[in-house]
Structure 1
Amino acid sequence: MTTLLAVRDLKVQYPGKGFRQPPSEVLHGVSLTIAAGETLGLVGESGSGKTTLGRAVLGLVETSGGSIEFNGQPIQDLSARYRRKLAKDIQVVFQDPYTSLNPALLVSDILSEPLLAQGRSRQDAAASVAGLLDRVGLPKDAGNRYAREFSGGQRQRVAIARALAIAPKLIVCDEAVSALDLVTQARVLDLLIEIQRETKVAYLFISHDLTVVRHISHRVAVMYRGDIVETGTARDVTTSPSNPYTQQLLLAAPVADPAEQTKRRHARIALRTS
């Protein structure tokens, strides 16, 4: 498969918190690739660096070393002008759809905004908006409502529709379902999978939940304290992980059976003390 995104030896530093404190390195030379039409699940606990990596791909944080290539072209040092052009190919769905959607705009305006910015006519944009709403399973009249009038799952569908509006090649999903209940999570994940089958879009799917990542990903990369500690197919990483940290993440995943949950808790304790 053709490599769409290639991150090589990427480093990111944040300024020191106090007077004359040295900068803190958040990513210590991270490398990963995503093929066209593929989903790479990036999983790790809070503070592991996974969101920083996603923001680096989006050009939202400055890198201090390494490279990021998209379609074979370096993108980590693009000017604001060229970064705006790249937005046609790389989009994002954030964790909280309510704060990422303009509350003052109707949903139809939110979805048509990127289309009009590309020079599309209002009539053409309106037709595209209707198609987008249908694609993400929202009623036709949803365009005449504000984001606050929808449930969390419906708002996330609006955010996905906006990301799809200009037919990107890659979507960075940063904890895109973590704020949703389990039933709504499953529906949104199934929607993302269906959209990928139809459009061949690639996903960098960032999550702290290995169970969620397993559901949607072709491959999984596990981050721990700024390093990738394990990569492999979703099946291999989520059923027979080789790294102790990945094993901890797998054992921490919630299960419905109380006896199994107790068994996992004892296994986590045994791992920490071994």
Structure 2
Amino acid sequence: MTGPLLDVSELRVTYPGRGFRARPHEVLHGVSLSVREGETLGLVGESGSGKTTIGRAVLGLAKPSGGRILFRDQDITHIPAKVRRSMARDIQVVFQDPYTSLNPSLTIGDILSEPLVVQGSSVTDARARVLELLDQVGLPADAAARLPREFSGGQRQRVAIARALAPRPRLIVCDEPVSALDLSTQTRVLDLFIDIQRRTGVAYLFVSHDLAVIRHISHRVTVLYRGAVVETGPADRITASPEHPYTQDLLLAAPVADPARQRERREKRSRLATNKSTETKAS
């Protein structure tokens, strides 16, 4: 492999219009980004910016209408479903809601071992791997015999992470994986992601609307606005001194613990919104 682990070039995704004679709607307008081995690229933007669609396109759940997606130098933009399924070992996903992504009628042990057995592991090897995974995400061994409903939201997300790690993937697409959790649990789960990456070398394409979350976990950040990239660069710079007005607005909208700083941010954001409105009327 000579290039990055994941290389997305000029990606476009178009959805059919709703209703009779409705025009197709393009949600991604030539997006380019890359993820290196062992790196976390944070995708940040407000709802409707197209960040989740990028993850879905990488996973084969959204059909690109243009551009190219390379994984380990292999073009996976339009590969057949059978080939796509064979890539599950290398590309996994953690969804937003840890409960609906887990089969409520299966024990945690069955949830984690089932994909391993399907991919050819023996039952004995799968059970051993399950114990290893539970330890890796900080859950007790007896969790294997319990059902998802017996766990808290943070614990269920740990199970979802363990399931994604089961086949030892090279890349995990994380689609708002902590947005359904409270703040203290968010921090613990984010730290778990970081610890797992340090130990395994897995790469993350991490989708979030929260710039504070992106700052915590990412090496680099790509900012999306209405289906287009407006800014990209090292996480330290993008989350501290962004250049694009939209990213600046996202930064000001992020909550801080200090009430005085929060008030200053709110006032500055209000001034920026007033200036934008005045500029729009003048033009």
Instruction: Return the TM-score normalized by structure 1.
Output: 0.99
**Cα distance in 1 between the residues matched to 2:19 and 2:270:** 36
Q: Residue in 2 aligned with 1:79?
A: 80
Matched to 2:96, the amino acid is Q
Describe the superposition over 1:191-234 as per-residue Cα deviations: whole angstroms up to 9, x where unpaired.
Answer: 11010011100000000000000000000000000001000100
**Is 2:259 the partner of 1:258?**
yes
**Cα distance in 2 between the residues matched to 1:76 and 1:148:** 37
Matched to 2:166, the amino acid is A
Q: Residue in 1 aligned with 2:117?
A: 116
Q: Residue in 2 aligned with 1:70?
A: 71
Matched to 2:138, the amino acid is G
Q: Residue in 1 aligned with 2:280?
A: none
Unpaired runs of 5+ residues, structure 1, are none
**Cα distance in 2 between the residues matched to 1:178 and 1:225:** 21
Q: Tell me, what secondary structure is at the counterpart of 2:204?
A: strand
**Is 2:127 the partner of 1:126?**
yes
**Is 2:160 the partner of 1:159?**
yes
Describe the superposition over 1:82-110 as per-residue Cα deviations: whole angstroms up to 9, x where unpaired.
Answer: 01001110000000010000001000000
**Cα distance in 2 between the residues matched to 1:178 and 1:2:** 32
**Cα distance in 2 between the residues matched to 1:245 and 1:87:** 35
Q: Residue in 1 aligned with 2:208?
A: 207
Kindly indicate whether the alpha-carbon contact (under 8 Å) linking 2:3 and 2:73 is maintained by their aligned counterparts in 1: no
Alignment of 1:211-226 (within 5 A): 211-226=212-227
Q: Residue in 1 aligned with 2:44?
A: 43
Q: CA deviation at 1:18?
A: 1.9
Q: Residue in 2 aligned with 1:241?
A: 242
> How many residues in Structure 1 have an aligned counterpart in Structure 2?
274
**Cα distance in 1 between the residues matched to 2:3 and 2:113:** 31
Kindly indicate whether the alpha-carbon contact (under 8 Å) linking 1:50 and 1:206 is maintained by their aligned counterparts in 2: yes
Q: Tell me, what secondary structure is at the counterpart of 2:23?
A: coil
**Cα distance in 1 between the residues matched to 2:198 and 2:260:** 38
Q: Tell me, what secondary structure is at the counterpart of 2:30?
A: strand
**Cα distance in 2 between the residues matched to 1:200 and 1:2:** 17
Matched to 2:121, the amino acid is R
Q: Tell me, what secondary structure is at the counterpart of 1:223?
A: strand
**Cα distance in 2 between the residues matched to 1:248 and 1:72:** 36
RMSD, aligned CA: 0.9
Percent identity between the aligned chains? 68
Q: CA deviation at 1:2?
A: 5.0
Unpaired runs of 5+ residues, structure 2, are 276-283
Kindly indicate whether the alpha-carbon contact (under 8 Å) linking 1:2 and 1:36 is maintained by their aligned counterparts in 2: no
**Cα distance in 2 between the residues matched to 1:97 and 1:76:** 28
**Cα distance in 2 between the residues matched to 1:266 and 1:196:** 38
Q: Residue in 2 aligned with 1:4?
A: 5
**Cα distance in 2 between the residues matched to 1:120 and 1:32:** 34
Q: Write out the 4+ residue segments of structure 1 that deviate beyond 3 Å after TM superposition.
A: none
Q: Residue in 2 aligned with 1:61?
A: 62
**Cα distance in 2 between the residues matched to 1:199 and 1:10:** 29
